[in-house]
Amino acid sequence: MKAISELNLPEDVRYTDDHEWAKNSGDAVRIGISDYAQDQLGDIVFVELPEVGSTFDKGEEFGTVESVKAVSELYMPMGGEVTAINESLADAPELVNSDPYDGGWMIEIKASDPAEMEAMKSKADYLEMLKG
């Protein structure tokens, strides 16, 4: 397990209490799990993602991530319609471990309320939460 100081937590993403992240990517919002979450889960062996066109409200479960330790639910950091899924994760779920913010992103959505991103935690707020 990584020490808090070793975590990769980019400044340009927002974080949730459930350890998902969201980042503006043009007209879309890209979503995945944080470096902390992937580190806690251990080696990820499978990621179940929704179909493009699915819509979810903030806080709804949109998929699961399976590691050698456990299966964990994935929760929407904000509401919206899924416009893309990371097809690479079907064959290489370990990308979530090695590159959680770029190669290991999970879904892109068209946000139903872009202001929901402002309610998420900044890097500093997320770090404070992790330190307890």
Band the pLDDT of 26: cuts 50, 70, 90.
Answer: confident
Q: What is the pLDDT of residues 46-90, one digit of tens each?
A: 999 999 999 999 999 999 999 998 999 999 999 999 999 999 999
Band the pLDDT of 100: cuts 50, 70, 90.
Answer: very high
The burial class, CB within 10 Å (0-12 / 13-18 / 19+), for 15 is buried
> Which of 129, 113, 100 is CA-nearest to residue 13?
100
In 10 A of CB 47, how many CB atoms?
24
- Rounded (5°) CA angle 95-96-100: 105
Cα atoms in the Cβ-side hemisphere of radius 13 Å centred on 4: 9
pTM, rounded to two decimals:
0.96
